[in-house]
């Protein structure tokens, strides 16, 4: 079990925990309805409010707190978050860009609903982008880059064993973006950034389906990149991405990740 051994060697026991036994990475920075605060008692910068609102709604959409099709009322959300509507609208713009909400002129934002077409479109884009990126990354690899990928897989394994499914989804998406980053191709990285949050959301939706297998497959991709065999790396990456398509389509009829784990 070489994969398991490598993953266990990377185990980070220093992850901080709060008094409920939840890692600080998993905990939101504040609860809805509670004003944002900074350590010195001052006010949060405008951009900080926008980013906090974005993160709060993003997580709420992924976890089902804001279900697909739900209309997001600006006034009510602004009151709940104790912010003005200006940073809220800015957060909405980013949420729409990243695929979490849909907006129409003079109408409230609506939480995006996954459809089979949207799932297929995402996987088609991933196949076109990531397979080539994996081959290019194999050519441009360095020992440090390969080791960094192994660290990401180890973080995935840890999140899986501790049941931190949202962290697992985010780390899984980071694994794929790190491969693209190794290419040094800025256009590839920008294209990847446009779909990374959609990937995270879909990974979370399917997180109840064999997370350990995904870790093993990711490590196989890492070892193929490390070997310098572009054809092998391309083949393994293609199989890994395509393997996730049907489970992602199937999950649309199964409800939220929490429903699947019951």
Q: What is the pLDDT of residue 47?
A: 59
Report the 3 state secondary structure along 6-56: HHHHCCCCCCCECCCCCECCCCCCCCCCCCCCCCCCCCCCHHHHHHHHHHH
Longest dimension (CA), the chain: 57
Q: How far apart are CA 66 and CA 90, in angstroms?
A: 18
Cα(157)–Cα(209) distance, integer angstroms: 14
Q: From 178, 147, 156, 155, select the one nearest 12 (Cα to Cα).
A: 155
How far does Cα 20 stand from its chain's mean position?
A: 24
Task: Report the DSSP beta bridge partners of residue 23.
Answer: 17
Residues 6+ apart with CB under 8 A from 164: 23, 25, 26
- In order of start, what are the domains of the chain with their CATH numbers? 46-111 (1.10.10.10), 116-257 (1.20.120.530)
DSSP secondary structure letter of residue 105: T
Residue 225's pLDDT is 99
- Mode of pairing for the β-strands spanning 109-111 and 71-72: antiparallel
Mind listing the pLDDT tens digit of every residue in the chain (262 residues)? 445 445 545 544 444 433 333 333 333 333 333 344 433 334 455 559 999 999 999 999 999 999 999 999 999 999 999 999 999 999 999 999 999 999 987 778 999 999 999 999 999 999 999 999 999 999 999 999 999 999 999 999 999 999 999 999 999 999 999 999 999 999 999 999 999 999 999 999 988 777 788 999 999 999 999 999 999 999 999 999 999 999 999 988 765 554 544 4
């Amino acid at each position: 079990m070489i994969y398991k051994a490598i993953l266990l060697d990377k185990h980070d026991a220093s992850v901080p925990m709060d008094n409920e036994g939840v890692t600080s990475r998993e905990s939101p920075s504040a609860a809805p309805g509670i004003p944002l605060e900074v350590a010195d008692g001052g006010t949060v910068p405008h951009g900080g409010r926008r980013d906090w609102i974005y993160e709060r709604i993003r997580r709420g959409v992924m976890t089902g707190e804001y279900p697909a099709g739900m209309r997001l009322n600006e006034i009510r959300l602004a009151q709940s978050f104790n912010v003005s509507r200006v940073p809220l609208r800015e957060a909405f713009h980013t949420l729409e860009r990243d695929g979490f909400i849909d907006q129409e002129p003079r109408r409230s934002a609506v939480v995006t609903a996954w459809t089979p077409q949207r799932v297929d479109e995402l996987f088609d884009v991933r196949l076109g982008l990531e397979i080539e990126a994996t081959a290019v990354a194999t050519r441009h690899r360095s020992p440090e880059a390969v080791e960094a990928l192994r660290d990401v897989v180890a973080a995935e394994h840890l999140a899986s064993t501790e049941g931190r499914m949202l962290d697992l989804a985010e780390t899984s998406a980071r694994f794929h973006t790190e491969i693209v980053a190794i290419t040094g191709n800025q256009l590839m990285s920008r294209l990847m950034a446009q779909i990374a949050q959609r990937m995270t959301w879909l990974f979370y939706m399917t997180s109840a389906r064999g997370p350990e297998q995904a870790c093993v497959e990711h490590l196989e991709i890492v070892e193929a990149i490390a070997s310098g065999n572009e054809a092998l790396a391309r083949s393994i990456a293609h199989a890994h991405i395509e393997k996730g398509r049907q489970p992602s389509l199937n999950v649309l009829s199964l409800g939220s990740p929490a429903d699947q784990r019951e």
